[in-house]
Amino acid sequence: MVKSNETQATNPKVQVTIKPPNLQTARFEIVGTAPLVIHRFAAKAKAMMMAKMEAGSTAKKGKAREAFDKDAAYEGARYRAKAGWDGFNAAAIRAAMISACRLVGFKMTLAKLSVFVVPDGWDAVEPQIPLVKIEGKPRLLESVARVETGQCYITVRPCFDEWSAAVTIRFDGDQFTVADISNLLARVGAQVGIGEGRADSKNSPGMGWGSFTLKSE
């Protein structure tokens, strides 16, 4: 810093051209137009994986499989805040907005530095996970899925048939206007989706789940 000050003192033509961050905030009401299916990687499953890794070569092969607890699997797949409400990972909206930039020719690398989601709270089990609160009641959804080998298995996940949320977006006002953010979020709802079975799923063409529309004033 001293060197910089000395430079400016001896050369009055030096000018600061980097502007301070122009971060703005807007809040949007979104309303689901299709079921929202949540599937977090359960903390219990992570603990079991870690235990197996720590056991290393001493891990028992052919160990009897633990009986499947459907209710525990359902609860483990939910994101719950300390206050008890259900939510979805705030990163889902941010990732979806960045992905939607491909539709409008905006650089995704710039969007990563320009769009952020302000969480409503944090997960009770893993407090590093930011959450957006879901308005609605979940039900237990049983679906058939396949592992990479092609073998079928049953997944148990929370499903919100009717849902809504208030999403707070912090964005770079030098890159986007409020109208830009509104339209980008609308494209997320119509063309990208959030949660399991969304149109922009990396593992499949999607199930048509996780779509939404912006609530008009």
- Name the phi and psi angles at 183, rounded to 5: -70, -35
Q: What is the pLDDT of residues 163-199, one digit of tens each?
A: 999 999 999 999 999 999 999 999 999 999 999 999 9
Residue 90, Cα to own-chain centre: how many angstroms? Answer: 4
CA distances from 43 to 47, 82, 203 (A): 6, 15, 22
d(CA 141, CA 155): 8
Q: What is the pLDDT of residues 104-137, one digit of tens each?
A: 999 999 999 999 999 999 999 999 999 999 999 9
What's the domain count of the chain?
1
Please state the pTM of the whole predicted model. Answer: 0.81
Is position 209 within any domain? Answer: yes
Is position 11 within any domain? Answer: no
Tell me if 123 sits within 8 A of 80, measured CB to CB. Answer: yes
- Name the phi and psi angles at 204, rounded to 5: -165, 170
Mean pLDDT of 203-216: 90
Is position 18 within any domain? Answer: no
Range of the domain at 150: 25-39+70-214
Q: Scan for tokens 């008009």, then name that residue.
A: 216
